[in-house]
Amino acid sequence: MSRPPLHALQGFVAAARLGNLSRAAESLNLTVSALSHQMRGLEARLGQQLLVRKSRGVGLTPDGQRLLERIGPHLDAISQALQPFAARHDDRLAISATPSMASAWLVPRLGDFLAAHPQVEISLQSTEAVVDFSRDTQVVAALRVGLGQWPGVLSEHLFDEWLVPMASPALVERMGGLDARPLGEWPLLGDPDGQWERWFDTFGVQPPARYVAVFDDSESHHRAALDGVGVALGRVTRARLLLDSGQLVMLTPRRLKARYAHWLVYPPEAATHRGLLAFRDWLHRQAREHVLHTDAAADATPDAPAR
């Protein structure tokens, strides 16, 4: 058997680790069809099926898992050995962020940065996966949610996240207005993390006998509130555009600080990247403006149903 080409093995490792051909192809600057062709060629050369398609992405066969375990560490070692020799392009800035943070907070502001820094080419990777800077060396920095304690990276606090009861104007009208009844009597949308319980304990409000529905992701949680199904204990950052446009209304100025905050993280070697330095300064200014705007919106909200 002839030796498999290195680029096909790199494509296989990327697909196996990301579990998605589209994201793997993007990370390798390939089209999905080109990566699929590489994978079929690699499987034909080895005489084994390596990947199996799933409803959302791809998985590994037992042979694929064994191959990943054998070649993955070697490809990582090659990548790390070559990293000091790689040309750094300070005018290209690849940023990783979660889809909700990207769409609700970063992207609406990004035009301001690009107008001020037209020489910087931004590549935004929207993914729930936590980027591994030692493997994905093209990514310069990431926006993360957490405690700010990640090994091997520099972490800079941007702003805290706040949880506030919010609902659609249609539901507020259906309930008779903000001051019609206590919050515990409103149809509340539960969450699996017990955030409502924290909110009720913190503010001494009587909890409901039951929740009208429970969602295990913030996207569905906010979507149900937007459709008038019930009251969400919404994340202010995620819902900022909906609140500003009046599609959602905060029912009370009482806010609960979420356990996790928003951070900018990057590896130490990126600390002198000129594109990142410009983005970093701009990002902190945006974060300060966000905090001021969030505080002002809370102060302007009448304290009606939280009793």
What does the block give as tokens for 131? 């980027």
Per-residue pLDDT at 4 exceeds 80:
no
**Helix axes of 236-244 and 218-226: crossing angle, nearest 10 degrees:** 20
Burial 108-147 (b: 16+ CB within 10 A, else e): eebeebeeebeebeeeebbbeeebebebbbebbbbbbbee
How does the average pLDDT of the chain come out, rounded? Answer: 88
Q: What is the mean pLDDT of residues 217-232?
A: 88
CA separation for the pair 18, 136 (Å, rounded): 11
Which class for 158: exposed (0-12), middle (13-18), buried (19 or more C-beta within 10 A)? buried
In the predicted structure, residue 141 carries a pLDDT above the cut 90:
yes
Dihedral class, residue 194 (left if φ above 0, else alpha if ψ from -120 to 50, else beta):
left
**Percent residues over pLDDT 90 in the chain:** 54
Whether residue 87 has pLDDT greater than 50: no
Domains belonging to the chain, first-starting first, are: 6-85 (1.10.10.10), 88-307 (3.40.190.290)
* pLDDT (tens digit per residue) in 92-130: 899 999 988 998 899 999 999 999 999 999 999 988 888
Indicate the pTM of the whole model. Answer: 0.68
Q: Is the pLDDT of residue 140 over 60?
A: yes
